[in-house]
Structure 1
């Protein structure tokens, strides 16, 4: 009798393989899930940035910085908070670079990715808070997809359960990473009993957070990074109780897992930011480019200047951006006319903020040629 026979028949299965060989190249499910998650986050962020006036394709310039720094930050956090495997007795320091074997901390990923996004935002002349708000619904979706990789790896599960959705967990082969250990008959060996699929709980929670951020942002027109703060609060609230269910090895403080403390502290920081920061949602008008002219509503095709439209589709990338409010942005979309400069508010600053290195928050010309790496400005209807 094998350990597999001790598990009930009605259970959620787990994969026995998390890596496949494509010739000499190993294809890892964990890496594929991360890549798909990044793509989803980029698509959502691109859509939301364009509806705020950012030139098409800017998200690619941001991702070039944010993705590598996010991965590096995630790995650094994991190694620092779980050093025994790498620097303890019998540890292998070179394993710290083996990202493909798993071990990425979300807290480090967000911190590292934020640093990369900040660098890119400065280069593009886009307010960093706008980038964060645009990313807010897409990031939890990416995290939800990434958790599927934990299912393939048979990891990040909770304690034993008799619930109908209890999860079977395979005993993985340490000498053949990514594959389940097998008995003498060639059958994969299961850990006895069923376990809480905490990675699935987190994935579902993250999808809920994405929906929450989208709906609240749509209703309240959040700006100044408050949509991102809402995401952080939603994610950490779920991570707090999910982390308490996990049974995998982790460092603790006062008998409580380190990530529980981290989730609580980050939640409080995001809550303080959300309550203290105020300001309207920011929109951008490109400098050095004009909005495309729409054809008259009652005209037929023969009255449309196709050569002018074709030239408009190839217009140059903006030299920079000017931050405006929603009313000014909608007026610009309808007329193509850049709104007149407004005097600064009595409190000593433009309530719409700054456009970063271009210095164009109050309508001034940029001090250097900051381009978004794409053509034209986003022209979109009201966000939905």
Structure 2
């Protein structure tokens, strides 16, 4: 059994201004995506030029923040919206949804495509390997904030977080950091180093993330105001991940089937 390290969620205070670790994790994620994007853009036959990465990140960054917030309210807290519409704008109160952020990134990328004329599906394959670093950084931010804890457990690495009581719990934020951040990044980066059929990289991203998230939800506590949706174990995170898994598999099969037809016709 481990004890949660007492981490101050505020990294730095400058007079009335408080800089939180969670916000810094977002900055770290975008900076890493910028570096990786410029690296990929310098490769032979790259879809984008290095100078275009800043514009792409601008559109995707707006999509992450707007989509993540809107997705959280609609997927996890819709009951409060009618009585308090301004809650949608109070992002400092917390609450961001990955699935909403993903939709925001897709919309932002589509707007970037409208401006530049690059192929949308190829752009999605370009963007997918840049995402996991930001996901991993965000999960470290969740851990520092002491949120999104797992269920009570007796595994040796279970952790006691005093505000949630004396029982040790799965550090599910760290599981997600390892799966959605580290492992997903390694898998996508290695997979995308060789030429792949269009949609294959995006399909692998959707299938792997959806699968990782679905599995972690078995040991992660559901949102208290939602609870389990069915059978005493189905969570909103799992419900939202099932379409990702299905679409990812469809894209992979479609991509390689199309390539097979072109090769053997």
The interval holding the TM-score normalised by the smaller chain is: 0.7 to 0.9
In structure 1, C-alpha distance between the alignment counterparts of 2:237 and 2:201, rounded to whole Å: 23
Measured after TM superposition, the shift of residue 85 of structure 1 is 6.8
In structure 1, C-alpha distance between the alignment counterparts of 2:78 and 2:5, rounded to whole Å: 28
Paired residues for 1:250-289 under 5 Å: 251=226, 252-255=228-231, 256-278=234-256
Which shifted more, 245-254 or 108-117? 245-254
Point out the structure with the larger helix share: 2
Which residue in the other structure is 1:218 paired with?
Answer: 193
Measured after TM superposition, the shift of residue 17 of structure 1 is 2.0
Which residue in the other structure is 1:139 paired with?
Answer: 131
How many aligned residue pairs are there?
252
The Cα offsets for residues 11-62 of structure 1, whole Å up to 9 and x where unpaired, read as 1424342124221111111111111111112221222133133322211011
Which residue in the other structure is 2:19 paired with?
Answer: 27
Partner residue of 1:128 out of 120, 126, 138: 120
In structure 1, C-alpha distance between the alignment counterparts of 2:142 and 2:230, rounded to whole Å: 27
Partner residue of 1:76 out of 70, 76, 82: 70
Which shifted more, 160-169 or 113-122? 160-169
Paired residues for 1:1-384 under 5 Å: 10-19=1-10, 20-51=12-43, 52-53=45-46, 54-83=48-77, 86-87=80-81, 92-171=84-163, 191-206=165-180, 207-219=182-194, 221-249=195-223, 251=226, 252-255=228-231, 256-278=234-256
Measured after TM superposition, the shift of residue 274 of structure 1 is 1.1
Stretches of structure 1 lacking an aligned partner (at least 5 in a row): 1-9, 172-189, 281-346, 352-384
Secondary structure of the 2:2 match is: coil
Instruction: Confirm or deny: 8 A CA contact 1:209 1:231 kept in the other structure.
Output: yes
Instruction: Confirm or deny: 8 A CA contact 1:148 1:199 kept in the other structure.
Output: yes
Secondary structure of the 2:19 match is: strand
Which shifted more, 205-214 or 244-253? 244-253
Measured after TM superposition, the shift of residue 122 of structure 1 is 2.8
CA RMSD in angstroms, aligned pairs only? 2.3
Which residue in the other structure is 1:293 paired with?
Answer: none
The Cα offsets for residues 332-357 of structure 1, whole Å up to 9 and x where unpaired, read as xxxxxxxxxxxxxxx9xxx9xxxxxx
Higher relative contact order (CA 8 A, sep 6+): 1
**In the superposition, relative to structure 1, how do residues 129 and 79 fare at CA in structure 2: closer, same or farther (>3 Å)?**
same
In structure 2, C-alpha distance between the alignment counterparts of 1:84 and 1:128, rounded to whole Å: 31
Secondary structure of the 1:17 match is: coil
Instruction: Confirm or deny: 8 A CA contact 1:85 1:92 kept in the other structure.
Output: no
Secondary structure of the 2:107 match is: helix
Which shifted more, 143-152 or 206-215? 206-215
What is the TM-score with the length of structure 2 in the denominator?
0.86
Measured after TM superposition, the shift of residue 153 of structure 1 is 1.1
Deviating beyond 6 angstroms after TM superposition, the runs of 4 or more aligned structure 1 residues are none
Higher-Rg member (1/2): 1
Secondary structure of the 1:104 match is: coil
Secondary structure of the 2:151 match is: coil
In structure 2, C-alpha distance between the alignment counterparts of 1:86 and 1:29, rounded to whole Å: 27
Measured after TM superposition, the shift of residue 76 of structure 1 is 0.8
Measured after TM superposition, the shift of residue 164 of structure 1 is 2.6
Stretches of structure 2 lacking an aligned partner (at least 5 in a row): none
Measured after TM superposition, the shift of residue 84 of structure 1 is 5.8
